[in-house]
Amino acid sequence: MMKRKENKEKLYLSDKPPLTLFGKIGIFITYVILFAWVYAIIWPLFQMFVSAFNGKQQQYIMANSNFEFSIRHFQYLFTETLYLTWVKNTLIIAGTTAILTLIVVSFTGYAYSRYRFKGRNASLMAILLIQTIPTFAGITAYFTMHSIVSAIIPQFSRQMMLILIYTGGAIASNTFILKGYIDSVSTELDDAAKIDGCSNFNVYRLIIMPIARPMLTIIALWSFIGPFMDYLLAKVLLTSPQSYTLAAGLYTLVTDFRTMNQPAFAAGGLLTAVPIVILFIALQKQLVSGLTSGSVKG
């Protein structure tokens, strides 16, 4: 009996058969592709980091330049450009976009998931079809809308128009994402809460939203990052350097010969990543704790 038991343990010691020659070749090719992919990502970032702190870099980035640690490119950003203004503009646009997107998407995602109303499928299909149209294709419509609204409200700026464009695009795409997430939440929680006397709004506020907090966190992060990454719309709609976002403003350091400074552009790129990284780290806890704390509160 003891021998049989030992044989069984040896037999099931590993449930994976030994690799064949083709399997080893496949693993080797996979690792080569992964290393090439990592190199393609890390190498430009490394060059940008080195160039930002290299005092011997002048107007253009020279790959073979000797390294001398310096922060003069950062000083150039803060003293010779409108970098702080661009940061302020981007934070206002990104923060407002994220807040408006969260407020609207939390309602639309819940409504499409839990309610059946006339025109529901048609409106969902319309939202889906709108997503297939490139944002830049509507640039003429954006200018027309801005002209109409600014004639009625003189204080309506191009930055406000940009916020509405970012928010509208984020609402359309994230409504589907949040709807799918709430669909996975059992409706028995809703029924139990209603039996206890909760209204529809309290079900939304006390049950659904805490459970959907991880997805809302992701939506907020995506909505906040969008204005930092977008160059095209900001460059077209914003006409003065004082109103530029970071992407549009920093791009003048590599396209305009009057302000050409590629190392300063690299320094600005590094600084641009700072608020995004901080926000991501701050919201990581919500991604983990939102699932459990939301269900307990419900």
Confidence band (pLDDT; 50, 70, 90) for 298?
A: very low
40-44, 53-57, 294-298: which range is least confident on average? Answer: 294-298
- Fold entry, domain 82-297: MetI-like fold (1.10.3720)
- Contact yes or no for 206/298 (Cβ under 8 A): yes
Residues 6 or more apart whose CB falls under 8 angstroms from that of 260 comprise: 59, 60, 253, 254
Q: How far is Cα of residue 138 from the mean position of the Cα atoms in its chain?
A: 22
Confidence band (pLDDT; 50, 70, 90) for 86?
A: very high
DSSP state of 154: T
- 115-148 in b/e form (b: 16+ CB < 10 A) is eeeeeeeeeeeebeeeeeeeeeebeeebeeebee
pLDDT digits (tens, 9 = 90+) for 115-173: 888 888 888 888 777 777 776 777 777 777 778 888 888 778 888 888 988 888 888 88
Is residue 78 packed enough to be buried (19+ CB in 10 Å), middle (13-18) or exposed (0-12)? exposed
pLDDT of residue 297: 42
Helices (H), the chain: 2-11, 21-53, 72-80, 83-114, 120-130, 139-152, 158-183, 187-195, 200-202, 209-211, 213-229, 232-237, 246-255, 262-297
- Between the CA of residue 100 and those of 96, 103, 165, 224, 286, what are the distances in Å? 6, 5, 11, 11, 19
pTM of the model: 0.80
Is residue 170 packed enough to be buried (19+ CB in 10 Å), middle (13-18) or exposed (0-12)? buried
pLDDT digits (tens, 9 = 90+) for 234-245: 888 888 889 999
